[in-house]
């Protein structure tokens, strides 16, 4: 019962945190699983949060395929059942096929990927479609 309560508390915390990640951006939240592809279009001021529960601590690869290189940025966080999230790094998807991911802390938790638009590219490319794959 304690594990279930901890998981529910983690999920509630992550949902609240996900919507407060970017104060000025409109964010949407998606719970994902490995091996699946997720499609989206992202505009200026928007964000997308991907939550991967029970991510592998030995490594999770993430592939982002975008319609325009250099227009999407992101960062990873490791959410723990207790304590504050660990910031794992940020990136700009500088190619249309961008591979990222890696090993994560050897403690129970979930991987959170937050994607947003690169600010100075929104004039030339108002909307950018992309897909993201978790393996």
Dihedral in degrees, nearest 10, Cα atoms 116, 26, 33, 83: 90
Domains (range + CATH), the chain: 2-134 (2.60.120.510)
pTM: 0.78
Question: How many Cα atoms within 13 Å fall on the side-chain side of residue 48?
Answer: 21
Quickly tell me which residue has 């129970």 as its tokens. 108
CA-CA distance, 105 to 47, in Å (whole number)?
Answer: 25
Cα–Cα nearest to 40, from 131, 120, 123:
131
Question: How many Cα atoms within 13 Å fall on the side-chain side of residue 128?
Answer: 30
Dihedral in degrees, nearest 10, Cα atoms 8, 90, 60, 2: -20
The pLDDT tens digits of the residues spanning 61-120 come to 999 999 999 999 999 999 988 878 899 999 999 999 999 988 787 788 899 999 999 999
Is the sign of the CA dihedral 17, 15, 81, 92 positive or negative?
negative
Cα–Cα nearest to 97, from 124, 123, 61:
61
The pLDDT tens digits of the residues spanning 6-38 come to 454 444 444 444 444 433 445 799 999 999 999
């Amino acid at each position: 019962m304690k594990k279930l309560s901890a998981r529910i508390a983690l999920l509630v915390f992550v949902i609240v945190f996900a919507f407060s990640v970017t104060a000025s951006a409109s964010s949407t939240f998606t719970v994902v699983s490995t091996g699946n592809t997720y499609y989206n279009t992202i505009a200026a001021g928007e964000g997308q949060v991907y939550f991967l529960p029970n991510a592998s601590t030995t490594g999770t690869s993430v592939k982002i395929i975008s319609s325009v290189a250099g227009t999407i940025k992101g960062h990873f966080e490791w959410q723990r059942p207790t304590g504050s999230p660990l910031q794992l790094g940020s990136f700009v998807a500088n190619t249309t096929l961008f591979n990222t991911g890696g090993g994560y802390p050897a403690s129970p938790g979930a991987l959170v990927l937050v994607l947003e638009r690169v600010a100075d590219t929104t004039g030339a490319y108002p909307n950018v479609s992309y897909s993201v794959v978790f393996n």
